[in-house]
Amino acid sequence: MAEPERRDLQIRRADDSLLTVEIYDRKVGSPDQALMVLQGSACNTTQSLAWFDQVLREASTRWVVVVAKDASSDAGVCGPGYEAHATEEARWFDHLSAARRLKQELKLRDHGAFQLLAVSAGGLTACAMAGASEDVSALALLSTGGGLTFRDELEILTKGDPKFAEQRLRIQSDPRLGKTWMGQTNPEIWWWSVLGKRCLPLLDGYRGAVLVVHGVKDTSTPIESARTLVRGLEARGVEVSDIELPTEHDLGTKDLPPEENGLGRALAWLKGELNREAENPLLSAEPTPAFDP
């Protein structure tokens, strides 16, 4: 495969800041759909993500797109200005705005134009986008949890440590600008915006396919959260597949062959969804209106 060509799309926000959307043209693959990649809570540039090259190699769509984080860096540290657009709701709006513009710029299909590949905390944004739009045909969630709130996940990971719980309660009620929590990449204002949220209710009404991939040794997002998400989606009648791997949070991307790690398994699943849709045009048809006035 030839080296993908990159160009950036700039979208102006209400405060006159610019949202950057990275567009990678692979020259091969389905031309009327795009794979949107949503990274986790770190402020890494796309080029500093070691696993992103695998996405570009193995994606099935011609287009791979990324909504860049403001003030990102190769070191993954959030720079000045990040906090202004760091809350989850702001990120959700950015992605929905980007999807609308990308459909126009790339001449994507009217319905089901995007496959979503979300990693870690990016899953919350992906679930919000899938639940709020008819533009998502398939959703792959890697190490995202999503069945429990961030608050409950932290309770499991810290085993109810009272000092940790006290700090968490303070951030829930009084997030401080310019301060981080649990590492330089996690501003308090971001934690304030996610602690009470989970994926499951955001996916009410979503009728596309979902894949959940999680490591049983994950110490960043407990596997109980992923299992709860799978059970909840099954109860709603959503078509959901799940893969559990004997790995940590990185799903083996550092030490397993590409076809065996969680990312490779997810990309293969997305390719299967794309092929299945091509074989059955009804899957990509416009949704039937709920009523005829």
Q: Which residues pair with 151 in a beta bridge?
A: none
pLDDT value at 194 more than 60: yes
78 in Cβ contact with 72 (< 8 Å):
yes
Closest alpha carbon to 145 in 245, 222, 235: 222
In this predicted structure, what is the pLDDT of residue 282?
A: 54
Helix, strand, coil abundance in the chain, percent, nearest 5: 40, 20, 40
Token pair recorded at residue 52: 């992103």
Tell me the per-residue pLDDT of 219-242, one tens digit each, with 9 for 90 and over: 999 999 999 999 999 999 999 999
> What is the pLDDT confidence band of residue 183, given thresholds at 50, 70 and 90?
confident
> What is the pLDDT confidence band of residue 154, given thresholds at 50, 70 and 90?
very high
**What's the rounded mean pLDDT across residues 78-93?**
90
DSSP secondary structure, 25-81, as one string: E-SSSEEEEEEEEE--SS-B-GGG-TTHHHHHHH-SEEEEEEEPPTT-BTT----TT
154 in Cβ contact with 165 (< 8 Å):
no
Question: Kind and range of the H or E element at 102?
Answer: helix 88-106
Tell me the per-residue pLDDT of 244-285, one tens digit each, with 9 for 90 and over: 999 999 999 999 999 999 999 999 999 999 998 888 755 554
Torsion angles phi and psi, residue 110, rounded to 5 = -70, -35
Token pair recorded at residue 122: 């990016």
Compute how many other C-beta atoms are within 10 angstroms of the C-beta atom of residue 232: 18
Residue-averaged pLDDT of the chain: 92
In this predicted structure, what is the pLDDT of residue 290?
A: 41
Q: C-alpha 224: how far from its chain's center?
A: 19
Residue linked to tokens 């986790």: 40
What percent of the chain stands above pLDDT 70?
Answer: 95
Compute the distance between CA of residue 286 and CA of residue 158 in angstroms, rounded to an integer: 46
Name residue 175's amino acid.
P
Tell me the per-residue pLDDT of 1-50, one tens digit each, with 9 for 90 and over: 679 999 999 999 999 999 999 999 999 999 999 999 999 988 899 999 99
DSSP secondary structure, 126-143, as one string: HHHHHHH-TTEEEEEEES
pTM of the predicted protein model: 0.93
